[in-house]
Amino acid sequence: MAKRVLITGVAGQAGSYLAEFLLSMGYKVFGLLHRGSANSLYRISHIQDRIVLLSGDLLDYDSLLAAIETSEPDEVYNLAAQTYIPASWDQPVSTGEFTALGVARLLEAIRAVNGKIRFYQASTSEVFGKVEESPQNETTPFRPRSPYGVAKCYGHWLTSNYREHYDMFACAGICYNHESPRRDLSFVTRKISYGAAQISLGLKDKLEIGSLDACRDWGFTGDYVKAMWMMLQQQQPQDYVIATGISHSVLQFCELAFNHAHLDWRKHVVSTPALTRSTDTNLLRGDASKAHRELGWKPETSFEVLIRMLVDHDINLLTEKIDAKKGARA
Contact 262, 269 (CB under 8 A): no
Residues serving a catalytic function are 124, 126, 148
Question: Is beta strand 52-55 parallel, antiparallel or unpaired with respect to 240-242?
Answer: unpaired
Asked if the bond preceding 135 is cis, omega within 30° of 0, the reply is yes
Q: How far is residue 17's CA from residue 215's CA, in Å, rounded to a whole number?
A: 25
Question: Is beta strand 207-209 parallel, antiparallel or unpaired with respect to 269-271?
Answer: parallel
Whose CA is closest to 18, among 40, 44, 41?
A: 44
Q: How far is residue 4's CA from residue 299's CA, in Å, rounded to a whole number?
A: 26
Q: How far is CA 288 from CA 116, 176, 220, 275, 293, in A?
A: 27, 10, 15, 31, 9
